[in-house]
Structures are given as C-alpha cells and as structure tokens.
Amino acid sequence: MQYLTNTNIELTAASFHPDGHLFAAGGEDGQIKLFHVKTGENAANFDLGGPVQDLTFSENGIWFAAVAKGSTSITIFDLRKEGKAAEAKVLEIGGQVDSIRWDYTGQYLAASGPGGLTISQYTKSSKSWSDVISLAVPATAVAWGPQASSLISVNSEGVVTVLR
C-alpha cells in the first residue's frame, strides 16, 4: 500500500553568504530559501527545479551555485534578481555532479561526481565561462587547497586524493 508523502521537504544543503548576513538552505522540494541570520526571517527564495544536492556562495557576494540531485548541470543564481531572471548561468558539466565548491577569488568552480572532477572558470573582464580541466577522478566531495593551488577530493571508498 502506498501513501502520498509529497509533503516531505527535508532540508539537504546549507551555506552562509560570505558577508555573514544571510543563510541559504536547500530542500528536497528544489527550493533554496535565504534567511536573515540575525532574525531567522525568510529573505528570498529561488527555485532549482530538483532536490537540492549542494550549494555554494561565490565570494563576489552576488552569486551562488546550486546543483540538483543526479543533475549534470550547475545553476548560478544572482541574488539581486527574482524568478527565472535570477538564473545567471547554467553550466553543463557532462556528468553527474554531487559536490560544488567555489575558490576564494570566485574565479574557479570545482564540481565532482561519480564520473570525475571538472573545474570551470569565470573570467570577470570578459564575463565569460570556460572549462579549465576535467579529470577522471570520481569524487563525492571536493575542497580547494590554499591559493587554489590544489584540490582535495574524497570518493565513496574514503580515498582522499590531492590534485595539484
């Protein structure tokens, strides 16, 4: 016997805005809700369209990147806009993405999944995106090393890999 359990909107991802004033929580319902840290009040909502797997703020202060469960694309949202207009960019990665992390300068966005790692670059002067490198290193999570001179990943077996 099956019951309808579509009201389940568990929260699956979390991140603070680099200014420290806003907190973002992503849910199973595809909603990314921003809250004022001080009061806990809802500040804005963004629709990713699928259960939120991961989200990460850019240090530029106006963007955050988010990926839905099982998705092969990353959506960059602009905090200053609403609705569909808030989607600043959709990056096609080519493989499933489980974890995303921006480096401190907001230039590089690392994405990892069962197919491997991809690093994309945003160039501010030309306002353009480019692929820097893709590596066949499957990973469930990634982190940037100091000065973005290394990338640390872990896979589902718990193997920690250093890329540099």
The residues that touch other proteins, with contacts defined as CB under 8 A, are: 9-16, 18-21, 23, 25-27, 33, 35, 37-38, 40-42, 59-61, 98, 105, 107-108, 119, 121, 130, 132-133, 135, 137, 140-164
The residue count for the chain = 164
Nearer to other proteins, 72 or 148 (CB): 148
Nearer to other proteins, 93 or 98 (CB): 98
**Residues sharing a CB contact under 8 Å with residue 92, sequence separation 6 or more, in sequence order:** 72, 73
Cβ atoms 14, 26 nearer than 8 A: yes
Token pair belonging to 106: 């907001």
- The CA angle 88-124-24, to the nearest 5 degrees, is 45
Q: Output the smallest distance, CB 58 to other proteins, in A.
A: 10
Q: Distance between CA atoms of 144 and 106, rounded to whole angstroms?
A: 12
Nearer to other proteins, 21 or 49 (CB): 21
Nearest to 65 by CA among 142, 153, 150: 142
Nearer to other proteins, 75 or 112 (CB): 112
